[in-house]
Amino acid sequence: GGGVGDKVDYVFKVVLIGDSAVGKSQILARFARNEFSLDSKATIGVEFQTRTLVIQHKSIKAQIWDTAGQERYRAVTSAYYRGALGAMLVYDITKRQTFDHIPRWLEELRGHADKNLVIMLIGNKSDLEDQRVVPTEDAKEFAQKEGLFFLETSALQATNVDTAFTTVLTEIFDVMT
């Protein structure tokens, strides 16, 4: 992609939310640039990155927004959520608190976003299986109850990151067409 004459059929905004340090920025770096950093610094200000994919023969530009540190101050603004068609709700499988905060994030998300919002619950850092404290079954059950998609990912190992985004983008596409 990126060449002159490339056409984009749709732009879908997707937001990343969840507690600080769960791996949101690294999930985005993996998806948008196929990069990963172990010492990622929290960045300031709202940022997004894009990646264009072909889904069902249409060129879809995913515009992925990253909270960039605001999650620490519960200061994610409505501008962040505005126009979002998808959301990645991320916790860290090695930090119970980040999973316990998911209902709060979900409430905030549902308070701001479109009613057709497609939501994927993501348990990140699946490479740290020996430090796991959130059982897969607990998250699966919660996701089912709330009508969310659910996957465990590793931004480090690139496990399920593309699958998570393509699942959400495909569902957005299916809902709107």
Asked whether the beta carbons of 69 and 42 are under 8 A apart, the reply is yes
Site string for ligand GDP, 104-143 (x = CB under 6 A): --------------------xx-xx---------------
- If the CB atoms of residues 18 and 86 are measured against Mg ion, the closer one turns out to be 18
How far apart CA 59 and CA 12 sit, in angstroms, is: 11
In whole angstroms, the minimum distance from the beta carbon of 136 to ligand GDP comes to 15
Rg, the chain, Cα only? 15
* Residue 21 binds to ligand GDP (criterion: CB under 6 A): yes
- Which positions lie near Mg ion, rule CB under 5 A? 24-25
- If the CB atoms of residues 43 and 56 are measured against ligand GDP, the closer one turns out to be 43
Question: Amino acid letter at 145?
Answer: K
Asked whether the beta carbons of 129 and 173 are under 8 A apart, the reply is no
How far apart CA 50 and CA 169 sit, in angstroms, is: 13
- Residue 70, CA atoms < 13 Å, CB-side half-sphere: 17
* Residue 47 binds to ligand GDP (criterion: CB under 6 A): no
In whole angstroms, the minimum distance from the beta carbon of 173 to Mg ion comes to 27
Binding site for ligand GDP (CB under 6 A): 20-26, 37-40, 42, 124-125, 127-128, 154-156
